[in-house]
Structures are given as structure tokens and as C-alpha cells.
Structure 1
């Protein structure tokens, strides 16, 4: 096992259908800030939308590839099946009422590992959870969003993997990535690392394999504090026999990718340079930003992308 420690989750990337519906839900109902509108660098005809706190702090960033008209995915093994956000301990009733008022089908709260869990889905069927967390109020929040600060989402709490058998995944988490098994609860195993990063592994031996498409999670990115730490991780993973990509420039961070034994795509992403490298804080998310190698294709890209309306609270109301 490496001596390097993962500080936590950097971001989670999922797949949406209609981009405007996605923006309206995550900004208008969940109160996240659209901190960046760009494109999928590997598929420039599709939006890549980033939501988070005021500046897109690592650990708050949920991103979406928007594929209008694409088919729905299928829930199953080899997949991240739930994205969980942290909320303050006294905010469960507020969120239950708010979600129901906006027509969101909310399940009855359950207790998991001593914390209250509120489950629901976004408009594309992605499973989301709000989990009460004792340290949530110590985390940063978007001060100017539509949610009262005392109830606002405080970044990620955890994520849930579904696996046909959890032993090989557990070995990678503990022996390679440095996670520790916190506790089992039924067929759910919770692993933690760094500053409270948690991953639950569901052992679902008889469940069918999932299919990644609209309404499912594409991958999770773990944090590296800088490029040097990321390169050290890459070498460790290669030494352990993992098939790891070269370092890729994602403009707002650098990335390497590999798969855990159950098939879920993992990424390790650097904290810097961050989302203010091409926009000031007050304008984050208000303009379509392209990396230099795609800027020459801006006219063609803008013709293909459907127009979107950016919330007024993000300072601008319309994409150029």
C-alpha cells in the first residue's frame, strides 16, 4: 500500500439528458452553483456542466455530460449507484419538504451507520441521497444560492458502488488506495480514507450488470493535492498492475484514469489549477468556456450545442 493518502473525493461525473433540465434541477432545487459550462473534451458536441460550491472546491463538484435524446442507463453491478451529499444534522425536514414541494418523489428517511438518509432521484433517474453529518456545518457552502445557508448542501458525503462480489474491490481500496473498512451493515461495507472520504460497497451477488447511459454515474475522481502526488499515484498503480492512462489535461485539473476490479472507472484528479483559471469568481459558469485546442472550433461547437439559460444568480442569464 502506498504511503500517499487520498484527501477525499475530487468530483463525480454522471450523464444527463437535456442540459437545461439538468441545470434547473441542480441550481434551482438543490441550490448548487453552476461553476463551469464547457464541453466534453473527448466529444465537443456535448456539454460538460460542473456544479459545486461558490468556487467549485474539490469535494463539492458534481459534473454531467449532457446527451439529449440518449437512452436511459440500467442500474446494476459494476456501477456507482448512488451519489450522497452531506447536509447539517437539523436539515432533514427542510429538505424533505422542499423536494416534495417541487414534485420530487422522496423516500421515507432511513438510518444508515447512525446517520439519517433521504433518497430521491433527479429528472434523469440518477439516485441521490442527502445524509445528515455532524461535521457538515464546518464545510464551505455557496452563500448566494437559493437555499438558506443553514440548510445548504455541504459537498459530498459518500458514494455507493454495487458489485457482484466485493472482495477484489475491497482489496484495491485497502491495499492499493489506502482505504480502511469502517464497518459492515448488512451487505453494505463502508470504507473511509483521508479527510472523511467514504465509499460504500454493496455486495449484490445476484444483481444484473448495470449499463452506463443517461441517469447513471460515469466515474468518480479522487483528489491529488498536486501534479507530483498524481504522478506518484500513477507509478504506484502501474506497479500494482493496473492499466492507467497517461496524464490528461482537463484544463481545470489534470487526470489519470483506471478501473477498479468490478469495472467502475476511477480517476485521480489534481486540486489545481481550479475553475478560476479562465473566469473570475463572480462570473463562474456564465459563459461557454473552451480549452485552447478547441477554441478554433467555437463557431461550429456553438452551432451544435442546444442553447441554455444560466440562472440569474450566476450573474448571467444567457449563454453567448
Structure 2
């Protein structure tokens, strides 16, 4: 493969109640809601994007909140942990902060010389905070509920659970351009680009685990970065030439996407860095209003009648 990704673009998961989802990711994790839109394939459902101040690629965790949908099952063939990068000195603060918010947290463990704190969101999605030791130059969202000196910098890594690693590792290396940078028992680490936070994926081999079922509380897909549409189109052609089944290029309004599955079963996406989230509302107002793509705008009244109303908490209310 002549094209390689520079790192993670976003992770998309499935939630239950959208208001509970907003409250948790804004209040407990201190992220910014950078876009309130709908699932373009199911416009009666929100698509909520959380990230840094501008929703830069590599900072994003997004959700399809389907109220009343069944809980999923974590297992092989899916991404089972989404990890964020926090300052090296912040893990103790986060452990106390989450406990005060009523979140049950794990003991801090050390992995690859970094402290890791793991917990579940209200729907059971596994989230980890990693005290990144190599320095993370990314700026946090500094107008949220979490003080900026402790705040999340962006995605750190994702973990893919598989029943065997060879084929999955082959696609990561040969089709995405990653390289293996570590191995510890049944965990294999791969890095994109320059490596470091936002460019890592762990492949966890758990043949004893059941097959995963994607529903509430699980990851739907993991997206990797492409710099532009031209590169994405060439990438798609190369993937097809290598025998990978790939979707057509889909317009997601804020980026363009192609989708395919890695051999272990996880749905992957390659998403463009541009045009970004400020194309249909000012940067200072991101996420506050429901934004629809042009082809759904004629149905706004119908869609707004279906979607539950959201109340966005503001840190100003608590100061």
C-alpha cells in the first residue's frame, strides 16, 4: 500500500438516552459538543460529536443514541476500549473527579510505562484515560467542566479484540500503513505516522471471548485519517485492487468516508480531515443547534418532531 494514515480520526459508538450521554461527556469528561446533527442513514436519531475546541481529527468520540435499543455485548470482532490522552500528572485528579461524579473506576495500572485509569460510561462503554508520558501538544477544550490543566487532549488509542491477530495485523500494516511497536502477552500495539497519542491501536487476542454484538454500550466503528478527498479516492482504489470490499465514498458533510471491515470483524472507516465542523456554524457556536445536511433540510420540521429535546449544560451555571 502506497498510502498510510497519520492516525485516528474518530471513534463512533452507540448510546441509549441522548440527554444522559450529553450530560456525561460534557460534565464528567469535560469534552465539547462540537456538532449536533443526525445519523444521515437514520435521521430520526441524533449523531453527537464530542471533541476539542474545534473537533479536530484525532480528538473525536461520536455517538448514535438509540433510546430503547438493547445493550450490546463486548467481544471479538469489535473495538472494546476507547482511550483518551490526559496530562501525565492528571490521573490522580481524574480518579477523584470521577468518583465524585458517581463513576466506578478501576485501580490505576501501568501499561507501556503509562498510567491507565479505566471505567464505563452510563451505557457501559469502556473508556480509559492514559497519562501520556511523551507529552501531548494538543490543546484541550478550555471552556468546559474540567480545568484545562487536567483536561483530555484527544484520543490516545483504541483496542480491537480479535480471536487471532495475524490477519488483523496484516491489514493494519499492509492496508493502513501502521507498524508494530510493541507486544505484551496477548496484546500487540501498532502505531501510525509518528506514533504517540492519537495514532495507536492495540490488538487484543481473546479467543475465549464471545463474538461481540454491536448495540448500546459498544463501538460501532473506528475511523482513520486521510488528508484529503484525492488521497482517499486513491486509497479506495488500492484497497479494492487488494481485494478489500469497500463502500463508495459517502458525504458526511464534515468529512468524506469509506468503510470496510478488517479480517477480525471490526468496521473501519477512512475519513478526510476536511472540511471540518465550522462549515455550517461559527466556531464559537459549535454544537448548540441542530444542523442538517442540505439534502435533509427540507425535512427539518419532521425530524425535529421525532428527536427528543436536548438541554446542553453550561459550566457557567456552576460557577
What TM-score do you get using the length of structure 1 for normalisation? 0.96
Partner of 2:121: 122
Q: Is the 8 A contact 1:33 1:314 kept in 2?
A: no
Q: Is the 8 A contact 1:86 1:131 kept in 2?
A: yes
- Residue 142 (structure 1) shift: 0.7
Q: Is the 8 A contact 1:286 1:314 kept in 2?
A: no
The 2-side partners of 1:224 and 1:207 are apart by 32
The 1-side partners of 2:307 and 2:194 are apart by 38
Deviates more, 1:212-221 or 1:303-312: 303-312
Partner of 2:102: 103
SS at match of 1:287: coil
Structure 2: runs of 5 or more not aligned: none
Deviates more, 1:121-130 or 1:193-202: 193-202
Change (3 A) 1:103 1:292: same
Q: Is the 8 A contact 1:14 1:215 kept in 2?
A: yes
Q: Does 1:83 align with 2:82?
A: yes
Partner of 1:303: 305
Partner of 1:145: 144
Q: Where in structure 1 do 4 or more consecutive aligned residues deviate above 4 Å?
A: none
SS at match of 1:272: coil
- Residue 312 (structure 1) shift: 2.6
Deviations 1:128-148 (A, max 9, x none): 000011244411211211211
Deviates more, 1:269-278 or 1:306-315: 306-315
Q: Equivalences for 1:32-71 in 2 at 5 Å?
A: 32-71=31-70
SS at match of 1:149: coil
Structure 1: runs of 5 or more not aligned: 316-320
The 2-side partners of 1:305 and 1:155 are apart by 29
> Residue 268 of structure 1 is aligned with which of 257, 267, 270?
270
Partner of 2:207: 205
What TM-score do you get using the length of structure 2 for normalisation? 0.96
Partner of 2:253: 251
The 2-side partners of 1:104 and 1:112 are apart by 22
The 2-side partners of 1:42 and 1:135 are apart by 40
Q: Is the 8 A contact 1:87 1:136 kept in 2?
A: no
